[in-house]
């Protein structure tokens, strides 16, 4: 197995491919491997520098003509939800979240396939098998967790594992300065719950409880409708050429 020092990781550049967010653009990515005993330390440094993790790979856009992808992190310790976001929390008081080691399950995969079939039928993940899903969850050398959200059943809070129906899942990295939401999915039929928004709110709550200042949301693209939700969580910072800068919007 190839190993890399946190002080001297090896970086590689992908070939150009069609951008999934802006139809007129081509994307390239720079990436490195997150392996070895210092993988978590390297993941922290790279995430703070605008990288994202996928399995044991850290990557960030390196497009030749476009700089539209902006890294976003919520300032969790300053966050106070407005009326609309408080309503989302109120609509999900019957859910219970449980933090597990990064281990996949058939139940998670069934929900994952249902989510993809409704939201991302033609995306890059559309053909993922249960083996592919398992690799996405467990192929990690960093401190990764799976957060399951289930309907609350009588006895939950006493039993070790909640037994209610699974409605949402988040794959999350625990870092020295925050939580990084690597990937999340939910039951697309539960439209009134706004589960995607609720999971972000719950991660802000978890960050606050742990004394962590940030929740990392990945990339925001100004002209991409599918990315617009990320600016709802204020205050937040965007990674600019000058470093992390407060963004109001």
pLDDT digits (tens, 9 = 90+) for 37-62: 999 999 999 999 999 999 999 999 99
Ranges of residues in the chain whose predicted pLDDT is under 70: 1-7, 120-124, 155-160, 249
φ, ψ for residue 55 (rounded to 5)? 55, -125
pLDDT at position 120 is: 63
Of 156, 186, 175, 179, residue with least CA distance to 88: 186
Tell me the domains of the chain and their CATH numbers: 12-69 (no CATH), 73-247 (3.40.630.30)
List, in sequence order, every residue forming a beta bridge with 6; answer none if it has no partner: none
Of 189, 161, 204, residue with least CA distance to 73: 204
φ, ψ for residue 143 (rounded to 5)? -80, 85
pTM confidence score: 0.91
């Amino acid at each position: 197995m190839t190993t890399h020092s946190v002080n001297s990781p090896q970086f590689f550049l992908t070939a150009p491919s069609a951008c999934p967010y802006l139809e007129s653009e081509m994307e390239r990515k720079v990436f490195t491997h997150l392996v070895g005993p210092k993988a978590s330390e390297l993941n922290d440094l790279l995430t703070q520098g605008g990288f994202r993790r996928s399995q044991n790979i850290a990557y960030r856009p390196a497009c030749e003509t476009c700089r539209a992808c902006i890294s976003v992190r919520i300032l969790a310790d300053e966050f106070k939800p407005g009326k609309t976001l408080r309503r989302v929390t109120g609509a999900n008081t019957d859910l219970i979240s449980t933090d597990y080691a990064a281990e996949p399950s058939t139940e998670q995969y069934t929900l994952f396939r249902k989510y993809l079939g409704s939201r991302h039928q033609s995306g890059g993940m559309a053909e993922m098998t249960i083996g592919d899903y398992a690799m996405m969850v467990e192929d990690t050398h960093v401190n990764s967790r799976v957060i399951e959200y289930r309907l609350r059943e009588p006895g939950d809070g006493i039993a070790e594992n909640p037994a209610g129906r699974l409605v949402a899942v988040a794959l999350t990295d625990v870092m020295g300065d925050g939580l990084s939401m690597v990937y999340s999915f939910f039951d697309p039929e539960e439209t009134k719950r706004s589960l995607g928004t609720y999971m972000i709110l719950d991660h802000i709550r978890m960050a606050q409880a742990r004394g962590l200042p940030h929740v990392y949301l990945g990339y925001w693209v100004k002209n991409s409708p599918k990315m617009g939700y990320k600016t709802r969580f204020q205050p937040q910072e965007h990674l600019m050429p000058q470093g992390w800068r407060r963004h109001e919007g």
